[in-house]
Amino acid sequence: MTATEPVARRGRPGYDRDSMLEVVVEAFNERGYDATSLGVLAARLGLSKSAIYHHFDSKEQMLEVVLGKALDALDDVFDAPEATSGPVRDRIRYVVRGAVLVLAERKPYVTLLLRLRGNTAVERAAVERRRAIDAKMRTLFELARDEGTLRGDIDPRVAERLTFGMVNSTVEWYRPEGRTTPDELADAVLAYVDAGLIAR
C-alpha cells in the first residue's frame, strides 16, 4: 500500500490515504474515539469495513496513524537543528513558531492529541510522546534561565506551561481560513513569549 493509493467504492470519488485520515480524525473529534465504531467510519468514508481493513489493521491503528500526523510534525520541529543548537532565545522562538504552525496546519490532528486521556496503549504512547515534547520545551527554558536569558522572576516550568497553554488553547478558536494567518498568529504568540526572554 502506498500513501497515494486511490480508493474508490460505491461510486464515491477516490480517496488517497490523507483524505481518508481527514474523515477519520473528524469523526474521532466529533464523537470521541471510543464512541466511533468502525461502522460509523465505514459509513462516513463510503467504504465497506473490509475495504477499510485493506488500509488499516484496526481502529486503534487508525488512531495511531492519525495521532502520528500531529506528533511527527511536532517532533520534526523540536528535533530540527534550529531547535537544538544556536542561541537559546532563537531556539525558543523557533519551536514556538513551529508549534503554532503545526497546530494551524494540522489542527484536527492536534485537537485530537490534546483531548486524549490515555485509555488505550496507543493513547498512552501518544501522551508519553507529548510529554517528551513538553520536556524539550522545559529544557529550553531551563537553558535560558541558566544562561540568564529568562527573566529571573519566571520559573522555567511555569514558562513552559504558560507557553504551551497559550499555544494549545488556539485549537479552541483559531480558524486557519480566517483573517489571522498562521504566521500572524505565531507573531502574536511570540510577542508574549518574548516578554519572558532577555536579549543577549
Site residues (vs a copy of itself, CB under 8 A): 151, 153-155, 158-159, 161-162, 164-166, 168-170, 172-174, 180, 184-185, 187-189, 191-196
Whole-angstrom CA distances from 1 to 51, 65, 92, 179 are 13, 14, 38, 39
Decide whether 153 or 177 has the Cβ nearer to a copy of itself. 153
- HSE-CB at 158 with a 13 A cutoff on CA atoms is 8
Please state, in angstroms and rounded to a whole number, the distance separating the CA atoms of residues 94 and 156. Answer: 17
Q: Residue 188 CB, nearest distance to a copy of itself (Å)?
A: 5
In whole angstroms, how close is the CB of 162 to a copy of itself at the nearest point?
A: 5
Amino acid at 135: A
Identify which of residues 23 and 198 has a Cβ nearer to a copy of itself in the complex: 198
Q: Which is nearer to a copy of itself, 12 or 115 (by Cβ)?
A: 115
Query: Residue 36 CB, nearest distance to a copy of itself (Å)?
Result: 17
Residues 120 and 141: their CA atoms lie apart, in Å, by: 32
Of 54 and 117, CB closest to a copy of itself: 117
**Closest separation in Å from C-beta 24 to a copy of itself:** 22
Residue 13's identity, in one-letter code, is: P
Rounded to whole angstroms, how far apart are CA atoms 30 and 51? 23
